[in-house]
Each structure stands twice: as structure tokens, then as C-alpha cells.
Structure 1
Amino acid sequence: MVSISDARGTISTAIDNDDGGLRALNLDIHSHPETAYEERHAHDAICAFLEARGFTVKRHTYGLETSFEATVGQGGRLVVFCAEYDALPGIGHGCGHNLIATSSIAAFVGLATAVVKAGVAGRVRLLGTPAEEGGGGKAKLIDAGAFDDDIVGAIMAHPASQHMFQPGFQGIAGFRTIASHKLRVEYHGRGAHAGGEPWKGLNALDAAVAAYNGISMLRQHIKPDERIHGVIEKGGEVPNVIPHYTRMNWYVRSPTVASGDLLLARVKACLEAAATTAGCTMNYIFAPTYEDLLIVDSLCAAYSDEMAALGRSVQVKQIEAGTISTDMGNVSHKIPSFHGVFGIPCDKDVPGHDVRFAAAAEKGQAHTECVLSGKAMAMLGWKLLTDDAFAAAVRRDFEEALEKAAEG
């Protein structure tokens, strides 16, 4: 029987021995920011990294060009580390997904090494999950069967500005998020010469502006833990042509999918009233809904303990849910999941989704923190594979979380 301390040592040594390669891969992903479903460079770089270390990699998996999968081990239970690597348009890695990928890859390398060395039953998988930033990559992977195996845990961690945590903490294990409906709306009008015969036109931009203003007024009357935000993606071409077509992109966030459905109905009323006002027709283009993230207490407690062993104090569970969303929430309603948060050094005025956060995500200390998180995640995987009581507790906590979610 391999002791916990010996497993920690094997995992830590394996990750430390490859730190130079992990750092180079981290910087490579960061310097080639790619948006949802366009992450070809990241896909190829990660696959090459794994193949160079002897891992067998399946490229372009589950019908997604930029997804991949690598699995090590035989029999036993299966643990999956989720790697994100998409960037934000115009901002780059302003959400630090280069660090998410690096931490999950580190966890996979560390746990795979420990499993092979110890000869224990169990399988370790690294799954490439593209398009978290609005594209719903994990939702599509769920539909394609990527999470259909008997997986006992899906694991990942996300960076955040260090100042966001309560004093004395360097991260959060149980990071709570809310649900998010995502939709585009297209308005179709009729073009005309804006100077010569504007009365012959039906202005699709008027519909978009009326919709934006209507929803802006609706924001006064929503709950503090709800959010509505949108942009005009297509607003016309030139001032002297009445726009015949516009397109908007909206996120509607609420604590759960059920409460989000109610808020979405109010948003759609504004969108449809705007079309009527401008005399335009309209249609919706829906993207996958992001579900709220379910917290598995035993996973969170174990991660906090492992981070403490690495010299980091991590809050076990966030009290109030953050008003942000992730497609890892969808996974968390299907299998026991962990989505921790680790802090990286930033100035106090630097939020996520900002070019300054993208710059911070490139720094050496950010890499150090993501690797520490990777070591702790690898130990979560080790416990799930080798500790029957822990695996049973995780399953029990997951089922209780599902029951509470169903009760509303």
C-alpha cells in the first residue's frame, strides 16, 4: 500500500521535473490566444507536449476539432482533468485559461506517473475542453458522450486576482457560480437611402437600440444576484444606408436554470417589443445554457487540505455565489466535479476579463500558483482512485447536492 506522503512525493517530483516544459507550454498558449473553437495552436501544442512524454493522445475528439483526450491506466475508477485553453476576443488570456490548461496538464502528468509507478488500478484522463468563453464546449462534449464513462470525478481549477479572496486566503475550493442563458437575436428590416428616401426603410438598428434600452430599464427590477448584459455585434455598415440587419448577443444570468428561465422570459419580452416598435422581424440563435456549479463538500475539503500541505491557505467553500458562470456547471450536474480557484498576483484594481489580467497570467508567479494547484488536484485524483471511503463520500455528497438543486 502506497502512503499518502509517498503519493504526494511522487506527484510533486514528477511535476517539478517537468516544470520547464510546463512553463514553456504555458507561455506558448498565452502567446497564441485563440477564441472559442479556434484553438488549433493550443490543441496541437498540448498534444505534442503529451506525445513527447510517451502519452497516447486522441486528437480532434467528440466531433470538436480542438478537443483532445489522453488516458493512462487500467481498470478501477476513472478521474478526468478538464483543460481549458480558449481566449477572449481582443483581450487574449484575460481569464487565464493558459493557467487552467497548465494546471490540469500538471495534474495529469503527476497522477499518471503515480498510478503507473504504484501499479494501482485506476485510470487518469486529460480532456481538452474548448470554448468555455461563451461557446459551451463542455455542454457539447456532454452531448457527444465525453462524460458518459463511469467517471468518479471531473477536476479543474481557475485563476483569479489574489485581492478577490478574503484576508488570509490564497484561493477557494468550493467556488460557487450561477447559471447563464446565452442567445443572439437577429433583427431584419429593410434597407433604404438614409438621406434620399428614409421613409422606405425599416431600421433594424432602431430595433437593436430599443431592445438595449428596454433591457437596461429592466435591470432596475432584477434581483441582486442576477445579471443581464449584451452587445450589438452587427449594427449596420454606413450612416447613409438604413440598416436592414442587426445582431445582438445577450447573457442572462440567475442563480439556477429555473430562475434564469423566468428572467429570460422578461428579456425576450423586451427583445420582441423592440422588433414590433421598429416594424422588423426577428429570430433567436440560442447557445448552450451554463448551469450553476454544484459543490461537492468532500472534494473541497480534501483540496483545501492538500493546498495547506503546499503552503497555501484555501477557503473550503464560498458563502455567496459569484455572479459569473462556467460550462463546468453543466458537468457538475452530471458527475461529481471540482472547480477550485487559485490566486495570482495582480494590482488591486485589476479584474478578470481585462488586458491587465492577461498580462498577469503570463508572469512566473502565476505559473507557480497554477502548478501548486495542479499538485493538489492530482492528489484529489489519487484519493478518488485509491481510497474507497473517500470515493464513496464524494458520491454521497454529489447526490445530496443534486437533491438540493432539484428542491430549488
Structure 2
Amino acid sequence: MADAAPEIRSEEWKAVTATCRETIDSFEHSLKELNKAIHSNPELGFQEFFAVETITAFLQNNGFTVQSKAYGLETSFTAEVGSNGGPLVIICAEYDALPNIGHACGHNLIATSSIAAFLGAAQAIKSCKLPGRLRLLGTPAEEGQGGKVKLIEAGAFKEDIAAAIMAHPISPHQLKGDYTGLAGMDMIASHKFKVEFHGRPAHAGGQPWNGLNALDAAVATYSNVSMLRQQMRPDERVHGVIEDGGTVPNVITQYSRMNWYVRSPSMKRCDDLLKKVEKCCEAGALTTGCDFNFIRAPTYKNIKVNETLCKQYVEDMSILGEKVLLRDAEAFTASTDMGNVSHEVPSFHGGFPIPTEDNISPHHPKFAEAAGGDPAHQAAIRCGKGLAMLAVRALGDTGLAASARKEFQSARDD
């Protein structure tokens, strides 16, 4: 373990938090331009070349050394401040978008809040001469391709890490009560896979009996899963699409492909549900005489909420006049590869609401529209200030870091 960082005395903490806020305020205009540039140029996972170029140029222009293609990923990067011999805090930045609907998950705002947090905390670390390091880590391809999973496999979270932190935009209706933010954002595990069915072509009008219909296998599978939902728990989700269902009606479909997500609050339950869904696929193949095979994608683990870090975030955000909910009683039935990070190191994944129409949530075109507005940018900036204060706390408050580590180690890894 690295040497413990000196404690920030209570009288110093006011200066530290003020430095975080004032630094972020000084960058507010340039951060808005950065935010709008990313929002106006949405890119899919592992193709975020414009976003990475824009972010790294911004960092370099402000005096930071940037490592491109970090950990072997072409659209990852790191920027770091601090000294060796102390703990490390990682601020994760996302910036990928969704097919056809752009930044409907608001990852432009995640990038903005994370970069703002890095700028504020970096200046506070320099001003207070704290030991330890602060790293901004660009994490591509959160939307289904598991960029953070690949970063974990490459060793990005293997050091003496006090905390990994980030926050995600949400809709106001996703918070009950008069809260202006969420600290502990429970999100569930997700298995992702594709299934291919291989049949035999034939003339659909002349000799259909000579064919094996791969589209029928996909349709049967879809129906099987629909029936399975009757026995699923209310907090579980299974959803899929037919990506390839054939070409023309008068040829028996030789090949079909489906894409499935299987979600449940814990890895154990998610594993159990996956087995049932796989049986639905096998049954679809069996009843049509088709062959099948699975194509696996990275699994997203459920988030291990660290209440030690969450409580500190709630306290720090109150300095800004924000009323942040510690933890929602109901899990968000969505998934993130930040869940995998939370199984590796003490982690924080909060939520900050942006103004949207009623009942509009992430992954909706109108959420993408809202994510590009000035009110959403201001929400990201406020969140960034809280993240900056949390990052410095995790470095300068050894008691907080020790408590977060103890909670992380004692949490059930199911």
C-alpha cells in the first residue's frame, strides 16, 4: 500500500472546496463549447475519434499531458496530475452515442461533468500540495460494447486506487421527492449475446418442405421469451431484436440473427435468467430443425454502491445548495459497465437530473435533445463540482478512503 496522504484540516477544507468550484467556474464557457461540440457530433462506441480529439486538444491547450490510445484502446486516453507515492483517484469520462438517436443517453454531459471535476480537483491538489494522483480516464463504448470491461482486462484499475468516480444524467421523474440529484445509483447486471440460426433455403412457393426456416426459429425464440416473462421477477428484464430475418419472401430464410439483453439485480440471478433465455433459443432451433450458435458480448455487472463515498457526495453537494438523495429504494433497471469497475475498486456512480418533458427518459430522442441544452450543461457543471470535491476528499481524507475500502471489501460480490 502507498503511504497515507496527510489529512486536510477542517479549516483547509473550505479553501479546497472553494478552489474546486472557482476553477470549474473559470472554465465554464470553454466547457460549454466542448459539451456542444461532442453533442453535435455523436459517434458510436470505439469510433469516438472526434470526441477524443476534441477532449485531448482541450486538455493539452490547458497544460495537461495526455496519453492517447491508453491501454491499447484507440479511443481511450488518460491525463494525470499529482505525485507518486500516494493513492490514485480515477475520474471516468464517457462520450459514445447511440445509433440513430445520438446522445440520447447524455454521454456528452458525462464527459463534461468528468472533465470539469478533473479540472477543479487538479487545481485543488496543486494548491494544497497533496500527495497522490488524479487521473482522467477516457472510457469508450459504454453502450453495449463494454469499453470499461476491456480497460479492466488491460489493467486500468489494478493500482492502489482510492476511488473511481463518475455520474450519469437522468430525468427528473426518475427521482421521487424534491431531490436535485442521486448519489447511490443502483443499476442491475446485464448479459448480452447474439444468437444465430442456420437453416436451409428452398423455394417458398414451390417446395417449402425442403427448407429449414431460420426466421421461424427466431420468431419461435421471441415467442418463447415472451412467455418466459410471465415467470420473471418484476425487477428483471429481457429484451431483444431480430437483426437479420432474411431477404425475400419467396425464399425460405437460411440465416437469422437476434440480439438479446438479459438483466437482473445480481450476477447470480442474471446467470440463472440467462440459462432460461438460452433454453428459449435452443427450443426455437429444435422446433424448426435449425442449427444455432451464441455470440457472447461483455457482461455488465451490477453496481456495488459504496455508501461511504455516496454520503460524502451528499454532504459536499449540500455546500452547493443541492439536495441529493443518498440512495433510491428501487434499482434502475438499466445497466452500465461502471458496474464492472465497482467490483474492482471502491466506486461512485451518481445521477444528476436534466430538464426533460414528462416521462422522457434516457435512450429517447427527446432526451438527446434535452442533453444538448444549456440547462443540462449547467446540471453537469454542478455535478462536476461535487465530483471534484469527492475526488479530493478521497485523496486527502485517509479516514474516508479507509472506510470506502473496508465497505468495498466487505460487500457481497454476487
TM-score interval for Structure 1 and Structure 2 normalised by the shorter chain: over 0.9
Taking the TM superposition and a 5 Å limit, the aligned residue runs for 1:159-178 are 159-178=169-188
2:27 is the alignment partner of 1:44: no
The CA deviation string for residues 181-201 of structure 1, in whole angstroms up to 9 with x for no partner, is 111001111222323332222
- Deviation string 1:120-140 (CA, Å, 9 cap, x unpaired) is 212110101111111111111
Q: Report the equivalent of 1:286.
A: 296
Q: What is aligned with 1:66?
A: 75
What is the match of residue 318 of structure 2? 308
Give the letter for the 1:237 counterpart: T
- Using the TM superposition, give the Cα deviation of residue 211 of structure 1 relative to its aligned residue in structure 2, in angstroms: 0.4
Q: CA deviation at 1:69?
A: 0.9
What is the Cα deviation at residue 398 of structure 1?
1.5
The CA distance in 2 between the partners of 1:14 and 1:145, in whole Å, is 31
Q: Which runs of 5+ in 2 are unaligned?
A: 1-7
Match for residue 258 of structure 1? 268
Residue in structure 2 matching 1:24, options 26, 29, 33: 33
Q: 2:43 aligns with which of 27, 34, 42?
A: 34
Matched residue SS, 1:288? coil
1:362-392 CA-to-partner distances (Å, cap 9, x unmatched) read 1101000111111101111111111111111
Separation in 1, partners of 2:252, 2:122:
60
The yes-or-no answer on 1:354 pairing with 2:367 is no
Within-5 A mapping of 1:32-111: 32-75=41-84, 76-111=86-121
Greater shift, 25-34 or 185-194, is seen at 185-194
User: What is the match of residue 246 of structure 1?
Assistant: 256
Match of 1:337 in 2: 347
Cα distance in 1 between the residues matched to 2:257 and 2:264: 23
Q: Output one character per residue of 1:256-311: Cα deviation in whole Å (capped at 9) or x when no partner.
A: 11111111111111100101111111110111111110111111011111111112
| 1:117 positional shift | 2.3
Look up the match of 2:279. Answer: 269
Find the counterpart in structure 2 of residue 187 from structure 1: 197
What one-letter code is carried by the residue in structure 1 that aligns with 2:46?
Y
Q: CA deviation at 1:239?
A: 1.9
Give the match for residue 133 of structure 1: 143
Structure 2 CA distance, aligned partners of 1:106 and 1:50? Answer: 11
Amino acid at match of 1:161: S
How far apart are residue 399 of structure 1 and its match?
Answer: 1.7
**Distance in 2 (alpha carbons) for counterparts of 1:339 and 1:21:** 25
2:23 aligned with 1:14: yes
Report the counterpart of residue 14 of structure 2 in structure 1: 5
Q: Which amino acid aligns with 2:189?
A: A
Letter in 1 for 2:65: T
Segment drifting more, 152-161 vs 253-262: 253-262
Identity across matched positions, percent: 54
Q: Any idea what SS the aligned residue of 2:386 has?
A: helix
Query: Separation in 1 of the partners of 2:30 and 2:252?
Result: 55
| Residues in 2 aligned to 1:213 and 1:293: alpha-carbon distance in whole angstroms | 31
TM-score between the two structures when normalised by the length of structure 1: 0.97
Distance 2:392 2:72 in 1: 30
Structure 1 consecutive aligned stretches of length 4 or more whose deviation exceeds 3 Å: none
SS of the counterpart of 1:338?
Answer: strand
Give the drift of 1:41.
1.1
SS in 1 for 2:72: coil
Q: Which moved more, 1:357-366 or 1:346-355?
A: 346-355
Distance of 1:296 and 1:254 partners within structure 2: 19
CA distance in 2, matches of 1:61, 1:320: 36
CA distance in 1, matches of 2:43, 2:210: 42
Identify the residue that residue 4 of structure 2 maps to in structure 1.
none
Q: CA RMSD in A?
A: 1.2
Counterpart Cα distance in 2 of 1:23 and 1:185: 42
Q: CA deviation at 1:12?
A: 1.1
Amino acid at match of 2:23: A
Q: Tell me the residue number matched to 1:219.
A: 229
Return the alpha-carbon distance in structure 2 between the equivalents of residues 60 and 136 of structure 1.
16
**Aligned length, in residue pairs:** 404
Question: For the residues of structure 2 that align with 1:241 and 1:27, how far apart are their CA atoms?
Answer: 48
Q: Secondary structure at the match of 2:71?
A: coil
Question: Could you tell me how far apart the structure 2 residues matched to 1:193 and 1:60 are?
Answer: 50
